[in-house]
Amino acid sequence: LAKTTQPVSMDSYEGQEVNITCSHNNIATNDYITWYQQFPSQGPRFIIQGYKTKVTNEVASLFIPADRKSSTLSLPRVSLSDTAVYYCLVGVEGKLIFGQGTELSVKP
Amino acid sequence: GAVVSQHPSRVICKSGTSVKIECRSLDFQATTMFWYRQFPKQSLMLMATSNEGSKATYEQGVEKDKFLINHASLTLSTLTVTSAHPEDSSFYICSAADRSSSGANVLTFGAGSRLTVL
């Protein structure tokens, strides 16, 4: 199972774009990259998933370079309610190991 | 989208008693569910993989006789914390895998169960 490394914490202000990068040097050929968001005392919530290049949905974009050894979650125009912990996971068959995650703090 | 229901959301019990937590996939069948444990300010730790109709697979260091897992149907897995002690107090979260449009599994998580052992 691929290990992931993310910054422990990040600060931002409302309205800014936030980019959180995750490195996963030993990602396997079949692995997908999935990002989750977790608020205190709640289960993680799926944000976005990708395999290569760029994926965009209604809440975020995911950028994956050609070597797939890293990925960047981009949150456009964050609000106070985006304050949460963000986890990057790699895998394919469902058994996913959580790293430490990135604690994002959005300030007014 | 996929929904996983977890119950109870909070439970307080006396030391030595057993507590059962239920995890249900509401609108899809889950042959595999996962149980996690999370301490304050820490990440989720995978405890075990629950397989429908067969024994659960436990991660290293997790006592299978302490944390009993039963996956009796395609939509229900239960975690029983037996003879609970204060050090078992934690946030327990279940998840189930559903196939995404990209073809990979996406985990849908329950809301979690806060266990406090007095």
Q: What confidence tens digit (pLDDT) does each residue in B31-47 have?
A: 889 999 999 989 999 99
Q: Is the confidence at residue A75, as pLDDT, over 70?
A: yes
Q: Note the pLDDT of residue A5.
A: 92
By the 8 A CB rule, do A4 and A29 touch? no
Q: Note the pLDDT of residue A62.
A: 98
Q: Note the pLDDT of residue B37.
A: 97
* Residue indicated by tokens 């302490």: B66
B interface toward A at CB cutoff 8 Å?
Answer: 4, 6, 32, 34, 36, 43-46, 49, 91, 93, 95, 97, 100, 102, 104-112, 114
The region, left, alpha or beta by phi > 0 then psi within -120 to 50, assigned to residue A96 is beta
Nearest to B15 by CA among B114, B85, B88: B85
Q: Note the pLDDT of residue A3.
A: 82
From chain B, pick out residues whose CB is under 8 angstroms from the CB of A99.
43
Q: Note the pLDDT of residue A100.
A: 87
Q: Note the pLDDT of residue B51.
A: 85
Q: Is the confidence at residue A17, as pLDDT, over 90?
A: yes
Q: Note the pLDDT of residue B60.
A: 92
B95: closest CA of chain A, how far (Å): 9
User: Contact B104/A41, CB-based, under 8 Å?
Assistant: no
> Which amino acid, one-letter code, is at A44?
P
Mean pLDDT across the stretch B4-22?
A: 97
Nearest to B47 by CA among B105, B12, B94, B108: B94
Question: Which pLDDT band holds residue A98 (cuts at 50, 70, 90)?
Answer: confident
Cα–chain-centroid distance for residue A74?
8
Q: Is the confidence at residue B112, as pLDDT, over 70?
A: yes
Top residue of B43, B62, B92, B101 to mutate, by most chain A CBs within 10 Å, is B43
Higher pLDDT residue, B41 or A37? Answer: A37
Q: Name the percent of chain A lying above pLDDT 70.
A: 94
Distance separating alpha carbons of residues B90 and A98, to the nearest angstrom: 17
Q: Note the pLDDT of residue B32.
A: 87
Q: For B89-98, how does the pLDDT look when each residue is reduced to its tens digit (9 = 90+)?
A: 999 999 998 7
Q: Which residues touch A95 (CB under 8 Å, ≥6 apart)?
A: A1, B34, B46, B49
Is there a cis peptide before residue B8, judged by omega within 30 degrees of 0? yes
